[in-house]
Structure 1
Amino acid sequence: MTESLPDVRTYRLSPEVVAPLRQRLPHVATQTIDAIMAEVPAYAVAFAGDLGVKIARAVRAALGTFLELVARADGPDQQSPLGPALEGAYALGRGEARNGRSLDALLGAYRVGARVSWHELAKISVSTGQPAPVIAHFAELVFAYIDELSAASVAGHADELASSGRARLRHLEQLTQALLAGEAEHTIEVAAERADWSPPQTLTAVLVPEHAARTVVDLLDRRTLRLSEAGPAAPDHSVLLVPDASRGAVAGLLRGQSAVVGPARPWLAVKSSYDRAVRTLRLPGIETARTVVDTEDHLAALVLTADRQALADLRAKVLAPLTAAPGLTVDKLIETLRSWLRHQGRREDVAAELFVHPQTVRYRMTQLRELYGDRLRDPDWISSLIIALTLPDPV
């Protein structure tokens, strides 16, 4: 079983062991830097540029910190020099993540640095006559120190990825809100750039129940924008904005899900797709349970209910003549008039639909003609009656 490395925070080397190492520290640092440049290609360019001076300084500082750590005297007032070194390694990890790089190069540099610095430090110790057990313990300390630095860099890299990931999610949500609010094009374009989101040609708005949004979004393009809460216009629903996909393609991908799919629109104009999806969701009689509702299938209802208050007012206007009829017969007269309009005055068809005798239809229509007069021959009034009596009640 492999023994664990010693705790580099508590292990000590005597001053006579450390003194010659400290004297040769610049040489060790140079050898370490040369090896990293030769064996880790990702850092060759960095060392060659202005950043090289800073990196070289960081290598010398890390080696110096190591010697300070293992040579310091014990005492209640003695503070470990490891803290700043770990902070520096943590910052290196965050910097790699911020620049879009993995930790492969940095951890490779640590491994090369550990090997080369140990080789050089060991040569110095041997030349000064240090016994083998001391040199062996020294090796353990070098690699324990590198493990500490590596772990700090890994933590910094992970924290930066998590932080930048959360920040990007916030930026994507802000972009989605700007699109749905119909903000100025410049504002939306700036939001897209901030979110590092490449605009598509078109976006298609899709409404799905909040509880199903996570499952549904996994079926769609990975660039799909998502807003968890659609707001009062569509309570308990999430909004998905799907890039470069026709409503038919989206409907096919979501088959078996509960969704309302709007039309594809130029990406800066997706608010109109969202508005249509919301209005379709609110149409009377729309059932979305495990069904994909295509707004294109409801265009007539959407057009005729664009102004719900206007529909209510129209209905009140065209039914006003019936206020002169006895209260108990108004509903039957409305029912007969609606059927008469639907069947274009064919008495037998009206009677069959209402399960009454044709003479009953004749009687009721006589009453209606008395109440409406010539208006039942006026094409404009007939059109108004058809719209008012054949559409669902406004909500």
Structure 2
Amino acid sequence: MRGSAAPDGSVWARLPHELGDAVRPRIPEIARACVDVIATEIPEYSASFGHGPSRAVAIEQARRGIERDIDRVGTPAMWQADRLAEFRGHGREAFHNGLSREAVQAAVRVSSRVTWRWIADIAREARLSGDVLYGAAEGMFADVETSMAAVAEGYSAAEAAMSGTGERHRRLLRALLGGRTPAEVDGLVAASGLRVPAQVAAVAFRALPGAPEFPPDLLPEHVPADPSGDPPAALSSAPDTDLAGLPGLPAGWTAAVGPLVPLASAPESFRVARRAVDLAARGLLDAPGPVVWCRDHVTTLLLLADEFLAAQLASSTLAPLAGLSERRREQLAETLLALVRTRGSAPELGRLLELHPQTIRARLKKLGELFGARLDDPGERLRLELALLAERALPGG
């Protein structure tokens, strides 16, 4: 379950915009040159790239790819998930077109070599420094490695789909998430051809009725996944890299990434992920997009692991606030949470809550009347903090 490292664009980001401005008008010429050299040097491409509609399609693909890469010059670093997905697609397409894996990888090398020569000549014509040439070369060489790895992934995935390996990967996924015995899993691992990692993070998916199908290129092919299963799931040994494409989930889809755990604890990671995706669907977990990372919501997940007990804790612990008006209760609860967290003075709490110290003193006096010695007991302060957080996290909190 190895992941190909996606280039983060940092090398290209350090290059001056002048390089992109100089290269961009020449991109159509560069694309034609790439296709011509591929047709000349790689016999498997000679017939299709030499003339006719296939040549025109290849030139357009090359043009778009070069343009996309040049657009990275001088831009902030970013994960190139879309770029790698495109190269995986090239690998699958090559397999279905009867080309060899070696031929499509050779085409990547040839295209990169031709593009680099053009960029170097254009940079010299524009009198750009040697550091710019070195940086462009570094970016090109890094891209070659990751592009070839993505092509191989796509090619292997197409082979697996034809040979039934994809089904074996799904069986392994279900075995790992289901807590099967090591002996049972070992046989499935051998059949799958995957390398067993030391740690994994489970992914749980949820799709609303009528949501589009799960995009086939959203996850790398080496990631065991069954987004259409019951329940939908995936498993990753390198979640930050493997799951970089998940923010591109179509409307109606949500994913939750469980904690990274030892392989034997994969079922627990999946249990937490399923709980998180359920809570997110109810609006109880605040995530900026369709992906919930459980590591960012540990406190809420812990408090809502048993909603009945969380409600009982909040109700019994905060009973002294029950007879107050809603607004007065909110004010005192806000001050109480700040107090038990910081043990600050009235001026300190005033700065924290952006209120006048005299207002805080009045609230502290009322809290002292309501909770008494509990405010001075460390164990009771912890209980009060948990109760206040649980109340906030619960539905209607």
Q: Using structure 2 for the length normalisation, give the TM-score.
A: 0.46
Which has the greater radius of gyration? 1
- Name which structure has the greater RCO, CA cutoff 8 Å, separation 6+: 2
Q: Using structure 1 for the length normalisation, give the TM-score.
A: 0.46
